Amino acid sequence: MARATRFLALTILVLSVIFAAGCSKINTAGSASASQTTASDDLSKPKPVIVSVDATTSGMEDNYYAILEVTIKNTGSDGTVIVTATLTQAGQSRSSQMITNINHNTTQLLRFAFPLKWLGGDWTQNVVVSLP
């Protein structure tokens, strides 16, 4: 009887170790899956890059405009981005935003027009691309 009890105890011990090892492997796989999900989430977002900003002026007198032609490229997945252009002249700033959908590995040209009045001095521009 003692021999049967030892055998049963040893069998239970071995099965417990196997079960515990199996559970830890499941948890490890779950952890790997979670990190893969994080990496995959990162890949599922657009990654916009500003390729160029060309600034020109157009018009005369009261119909004078600064025109910003912004080229962006998406190195991430398809998605929506927000492009914010700011024009500063004589210490005064004005901003304009465009929301656009851009596909993976494509470039897109956006045009911003800002009305200007001669306030003296040069004007400067700043463009930022962000995710909604």
Q: Write the pLDDT tens digit of every residue in 53-102.
A: 999 999 887 788 999 999 999 999 999 999 999 999 888 899 999 999 99
| Domain ranges, residue 82 | 48-130
Same domain, 70 and 34: no
Give 26's pLDDT tier (boundaries 50, 70, 90): very low
Say if CB 125 and CB 86 are below 8 A apart: yes
Beta strands at 92-102 and 48-60: parallel, antiparallel or unpaired: unpaired
d(CA 44, CA 38): 10
Residue 31, pLDDT score: 36
Say if CB 52 and CB 71 are below 8 A apart: yes
Same domain, 86 and 28: no
For the entire predicted model, the pTM comes to: 0.66
Same domain, 10 and 27: yes
Mean pLDDT of the chain: 77
| Domain count within the chain | 2
CATH code of the domain in which 69 resides: 2.60.40.10
Beginning with the edge strand found earlier in the chain, give each strand of the sheet holding 107-116 in spatial order. 48-60, 63-74, 107-116
Say if CB 104 and CB 81 are below 8 A apart: no
